[in-house]
Amino acid sequence: MLLKVLGTAAGGGLPQWNCACPGCTGARAHPERRRRHASLAVRARAGRWYVVNATPDIGDQIEGATELHPGPGARQTPVAGVVLTDAELDHTLGIARLREAHDGVDVLATAPVLDAVREGLRLDAVLGPYTPVRWRELPAGAGRPLDGDSGVTVGAVPLSDKKPRYAADSPDSEASWSVALRLHDPGTGRTLLYAPALAVWSEAFDEAAREADCVIVDGTFWDDEEPLRSGFSTRTATAMGHLPVSGPGGTAHRLARLPGRCLYTHLNNTNPLGDPHAEQHKHLAEWGIEVAAERMVIEL
């Protein structure tokens, strides 16, 4: 299984267009600190790639990954579709950018997320006149082949019932509004667990994480008080639906006990991990944990 990290930032990116916090100011002064919205590309089989979460940066992300470049035909592309972990705007707005898809595009998500994207954002009606979109329900558990009848399989591990604001009135209150993706390669027997938003470390998630060879997980905030301390929110990280990296309720000590490789993604612009020289990186290194890098290639 071949994976390409397309982005590692939380909503708004780094820098965020309307923000002058130290993290955004530093990223403007030091372009190497810039981060696109969190996304991942997975090769389902030869010549067929799926993008995990279609962000507002999807055009630049495809251009920045030679594996996703079109050719040899004029409109031939290896990008076969999108898999969604939730219905948040920073993970779905990029679907509209795929309207030029000559042969259509697959979109996989859980039932409530599909309904929100198709009806709440009206992407079904909006994209229909441009390209055929094949909406496919993402299975729970071990999953099924991502593309065709063989190759990498994909399944969802339900995490929480956190809905995007535009879908707040939806009657659904299922835990499958936000999921982790379990990607498995039957050929190598290896598994990736991808969870860019993690509100609760459940038993099901813990079991999936222990079985995975690589875990890429929510690193939005360094500690629980970060949103309050930065002044942009009146809620803690946990109240916003993101377990922090450090502290009593943090995920770092849990990741440090896992047998597989562990990396953080989805960094908010206030997170000191956005600065590659921050002291917090040394703490992660002591725990054997990394921060995913833009354009990083992972082979499992």
Give the percent of the chain with pLDDT over 90. Answer: 93
Check residue 123 and give its pLDDT.
97
Please name each of the domains of the chain with its CATH number.
2-299 (3.60.15.10)
pLDDT tens digits, one per residue of 144-201: 999 988 899 999 999 999 999 999 988 877 789 999 999 999 999 999 999 999 999 9
Check residue 170 and give its pLDDT.
87
Tell me the longest C-alpha to C-alpha distance in the chain.
54
Alpha carbon distance 214, 217 (integer Å)? 10
Check residue 208 and give its pLDDT.
97
CA distances from 105 to 78, 109, 136 (A): 11, 13, 11
pTM for the model stands at 0.97
- Neighbour count for residue 60 (Cβ, 10 Å): 14
Phi and psi torsions of 141, nearest 5°: 75, -140
Check residue 143 and give its pLDDT.
86
**pLDDT above 80: residue 248:** yes
Check residue 187 and give its pLDDT.
94
Q: What is the mean pLDDT of the chain?
A: 96
